[in-house]
Structure 1
Amino acid sequence: MVIVDMNMIELHDDVDDDDEQSFDETPPPRHPLNTLQGDPRKARKGEEILRSGKTQAASPFASGLQGGTSASQDTLPTRIPLLASPKQWAVGSGCFCGSSKVWRVVDGVDVVPKNRYPWHVGLKSPGGDAYWCGGAIINDRYVVTAAHCAMDKDNNPEYPDNILVGIGDHNMKSHVDDTVVTKTVKVEEVIVHERYNPSSYNNDIALLKLSKSLNLGVSEDVGSVCLPPSKRSKYEKNVGTATGWGKLSTEGEQPPVLQQVLLPILPSDCWGYDHLITENMLCVLPVFGDTCQGDSGGPLVVQENRGFTLVGLTSFAFGECNQRGTPTVFTKVSRYVDWIKIKTRDASYCDIY
């Protein structure tokens, strides 16, 4: 268990008073780039390598960032995508969103088993043996992920047949730990946000409609995560948990087992990077670890009451993974609650604790 010391970072007051969804497609100001990984198109190439499934096992997340510096207005790093309605009951009994195994306690010691975060899914290509993106189950028919995870190399929405969703998985390299609910589900429809901008990663969100409904009330190994109550929900100064099978370093390997990392959520000034993000994004500070290529689309959750709420989707970073003093950027899910509910009207949601 990682103990968060909030004194390690300086948190400023949130100055964002805008409550309305913005669909401004003008990308953040562009300045001469001090690229750390060369041509930004290489990020897409790296994404295709992950899609091929040619990865090896490795050890858990490396930890380490402390402190921070403001971004220079003259030498800015390249954006690197981190790719490597009323309440309704879902089918099944005892269906509550955001329910995690972390709540099971034995003799005063928290049990931390596989599928601790039962909403986490992996995306892979047919025939692939590794996940190249993550996502989260939000109801019995839909998974939410990053838009850039659902696009082909020409930045068009990917064909549904080219994406498989791994449900209830823990070790993506082995079937030994699989449960009766571990399975791969085909995608029926890919819904990319209409105003997604692949240059700025604004509106970096997509929905994958599964080919079959999930019975979310049967097993604690598969469940849905709660959505924010409204588009006005804010989570600055909270500590979120991100999960994924992404690389352990920029040039590293993917671990076989799902990883987790605690990430303090920054105020809207994003430690001086606010001129490079939009109100549809939120920043985290990699103090104890970070997300990396292959984690894109994966969930950032915050504990609320007895459940977990989805507050972010891994989107991009300003440079290498786990780079000192450099924020990592997530899609702010609260901005899209209305959009999600409209697009998923044919689905059933679990109740809230």
Structure 2
Amino acid sequence: MKVILLLLFLSIYTQVHHANTEEYLESWHESVGIKNAKKIKEYEDILYQRIVGGAIAPLNAHPYLVGLLIDLWGSPSLSACGGSLLTSNRILTAAHCWYDGRFQAMRFTAVLGSPFLFHGGLRITPDRISVHSQYNSRTFANDIAMLFTPIRIAYTHNIQPISLPHGEMLNESFEGEWTLASGYGRYSDIINPSTNTMARHVSLKVIPLAHCRVFYGNIVLDSNICTNGYGGVGICQGDSGGPLIVNRGGQPILIGVSSFVALDGCELGFPSAFARVSTYINWIRQLL
């Protein structure tokens, strides 16, 4: 069975063989985030009712993964994103989760240590956000932001921080390497309420940026990392802002923040794009 990452994606209009880079959705939250948050909750409610009284498997595989539920100004509906726990009070996510060009986040709820986005786990409301000063909501440039929690999060077996790249890794392109992305929600273009909506992951191979630009044009910058979509794998509707990692010596290292994919579907072979963490390492470190 194909395993597709469950990510609420930043949508771009696409053509049959080439992703259109000129027309963008007016509002990611309205067109994608809100709709998929509702779907995820519906699926979770059905699945959760089946296993009440039993035991939900702990999220041991991705203890750094953070789910984000988002209250928006001017909307009664919730949206959803993902993030990565960097320290006991810092969470890295995508800037478009805060502002997509139309809707702005009023409040985030961070969900840690749970295989579900709407049920269980530790839930904390961050009290501050720092968005990259050069973030562009129309082109997705510098699509990165830091959330601050008012209290320090206690680490457990299910809640652990992710390491940042350092040393020679800061100069690596990671082209040709296999990476791992994780998130909540959908894992294929076709989903129904009986589908398991627990957190999942997918292995993705990093491709040259030139290959990515064939699909997305000049919105792909040197500050991005792109992964292949061959075989119908890639990030999908679940968590924009979620982590892309490599393993070095058995240790997960955060190298990307989920930024955008094509609108046409998760399984059509389009690449996935992430904000490159090494590009923003000084910005990140200043906020830790």
Q: Which TM-score applies when normalising by structure 1? A: 0.62
The answer on whether the counterparts of 1:134 and 1:296 sit within 8 Å (CA) in structure 2 is yes
The answer on whether the counterparts of 1:119 and 1:225 sit within 8 Å (CA) in structure 2 is yes
Cross-structure match for 1:178: none
- Once the two structures are superposed, residues 231-259 of structure 1 have per-residue CA deviations (whole angstroms, 9 ceiling, x without a partner) of 42331111111111133345746853001
Aligned AA (2:273): V
Is 1:269 the counterpart of 2:210? The answer is yes
Report the 3-state secondary structure (helix = DSSP H, G, I; strand = E; otherwise coil) of the residue aligned with 1:334: helix
The answer on whether the counterparts of 2:24 and 2:138 sit within 8 Å (CA) in structure 1 is no
Aligned AA (1:133): C
Alignment of 1:11-160 (within 5 A): 40-41=25-26, 43-50=28-35, 53-55=38-40, 56-57=42-43, 114-125=59-70, 132-151=80-99, 154=102, 158-159=105-106
Is 1:192 the counterpart of 2:178? The answer is no
Is 1:224 the counterpart of 2:130? The answer is no
- Once the two structures are superposed, residues 127-184 of structure 1 have per-residue CA deviations (whole angstroms, 9 ceiling, x without a partner) of x99871110001111000011012266365x34xx11100111133544xxxxxx310
Q: 2:272 aligns with which of 308, 328, 331?
A: 328
The answer on whether the counterparts of 1:135 and 1:144 sit within 8 Å (CA) in structure 2 is yes
Aligned AA (1:189): R
Q: What is the CA-CA distance between 1:306 and the residue it aligns to?
A: 2.3
The answer on whether the counterparts of 1:129 and 1:173 sit within 8 Å (CA) in structure 2 is no
Q: Among the aligned pairs, what percent are the same residue? A: 24
Q: 2:242 aligns with which of 287, 298, 301?
A: 298
The answer on whether the counterparts of 1:51 and 1:124 sit within 8 Å (CA) in structure 2 is no
Is 1:308 the counterpart of 2:252? The answer is yes
The answer on whether the counterparts of 2:225 and 2:276 sit within 8 Å (CA) in structure 1 is yes
RMSD: 3.3
Cross-structure match for 1:164: 109
* In 2, Cα distance between equivalents of 1:129 and 1:304: 40
* In 2, Cα distance between equivalents of 1:123 and 1:188: 13
Cross-structure match for 2:225: 282
Q: How many residues align structurally?
A: 251
Report the 3-state secondary structure (helix = DSSP H, G, I; strand = E; otherwise coil) of the residue aligned with 2:43: coil
Report the 3-state secondary structure (helix = DSSP H, G, I; strand = E; otherwise coil) of the residue aligned with 1:318: coil
The answer on whether the counterparts of 1:284 and 1:327 sit within 8 Å (CA) in structure 2 is yes
* In 1, Cα distance between equivalents of 2:27 and 2:77: 22
- Once the two structures are superposed, residues 84-110 of structure 1 have per-residue CA deviations (whole angstroms, 9 ceiling, x without a partner) of xxxxxxxxxxxxxxxxxxxxxxxxxxx
Cross-structure match for 1:237: 176
Report the 3-state secondary structure (helix = DSSP H, G, I; strand = E; otherwise coil) of the residue aligned with 1:309: strand
The answer on whether the counterparts of 1:131 and 1:245 sit within 8 Å (CA) in structure 2 is no
* In 2, Cα distance between equivalents of 1:34 and 1:339: 31
The answer on whether the counterparts of 2:179 and 2:244 sit within 8 Å (CA) in structure 1 is yes
Cross-structure match for 1:92: none
Report the 3-state secondary structure (helix = DSSP H, G, I; strand = E; otherwise coil) of the residue aligned with 1:337: helix
Q: Which has the larger radius of gyration?
A: 1
Q: Which has the higher helix share?
A: 2
- Once the two structures are superposed, residues 17-37 of structure 1 have per-residue CA deviations (whole angstroms, 9 ceiling, x without a partner) of xxxxxxxxxxxxxx9x9769x
The answer on whether the counterparts of 1:225 and 1:309 sit within 8 Å (CA) in structure 2 is yes
The answer on whether the counterparts of 1:136 and 1:144 sit within 8 Å (CA) in structure 2 is yes
Q: Which has the higher strand share?
A: 2
* In 1, Cα distance between equivalents of 2:201 and 2:93: 17
Aligned AA (1:257): M
* In 1, Cα distance between equivalents of 2:150 and 2:281: 23
* Structure 1 spans left out of the alignment, 5+ residues: 3-30, 59-111, 176-181, 345-353
* In 1, Cα distance between equivalents of 2:110 and 2:210: 35
